[in-house]
């Protein structure tokens, strides 16, 4: 039985999903629907959690009420878009509480060289709407 299970697994093609990770810890390449991703998405999530833990230190958050997530997006276009959107960027729905908008408000918008991994033309057009956002000093 065990040998048969191993044989079955060899014939199964690995298929990556589009909708992974809790929204607040989702890496930008997943949000941008990249099909070829690897362990770096886990490093992104770990980095987000680590930053939140550092933010919980008494020097930064004296009480539990002062603690908050690093990237608390309320929607994630196109995976789980905002229900009521009043703005558009590059002809696509935009919300200031969208996950990418929240991320870029902290780390700044991607530079031209950062976009080399993006393969989807619609994703590149969407990113055009985020030009010239400066990172904040953490």
> Nearest to residue 15, comparing CAs of 1, 31, 33, 35?
35
CB 90 within 8 A of CB 125: yes
> Residue 4: is its pLDDT beyond 70?
no
Structure tokens at 8: 């079955």
Where do the domains of the chain lie? 15-128
Q: What is this structure's pTM?
A: 0.78
Q: Alpha-carbon torsion 56, 57, 58, 61, what sign? A: negative
> Residue 14: is its pLDDT beyond 60?
no
**15-128: which CATH architecture?**
Orthogonal Bundle (1.10)
When the pLDDT of each residue in the chain is averaged and rounded to a whole number, the result is 84
Q: What are the residue ranges of helices labelled H in 67-131? A: 99-107, 121-128
Query: Pick the residue with more confidence: 49 or 81?
Result: 49
Place 48 in a pLDDT band, splitting at 50, 70 and 90.
very high
15-36 residue pLDDT tens: 655 555 689 999 998 898 888 8
What three-state secondary structure class fits 85?
coil
Task: Give the per-residue pLDDT at 73.
Answer: 93
């Amino acid at each position: 039985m065990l040998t048969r299970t191993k044989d079955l697994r060899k014939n199964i093609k690995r298929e990556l999903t589009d909708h992974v990770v809790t929204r607040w810890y989702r890496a930008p390449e997943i949000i941008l629907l990249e099909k070829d991703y690897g362990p770096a998405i886990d490093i992104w999530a770990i980095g987000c959690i680590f930053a939140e833990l550092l933010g919980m230190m008494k020097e930064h958050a004296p009480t539990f009420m002062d603690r908050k997530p690093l990237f608390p997006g309320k929607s994630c276009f196109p995976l789980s878009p905002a229900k009521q959107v009043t703005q558009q960027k590059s002809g696509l729905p935009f919300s200031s509480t969208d996950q990418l908008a929240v991320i870029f408000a902290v780390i700044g918008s991607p530079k031209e060289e950062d976009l080399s991994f993006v393969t989807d033309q619609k994703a590149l057009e969407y990113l055009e709407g985020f030009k010239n956002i400066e990172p904040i000093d953490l």
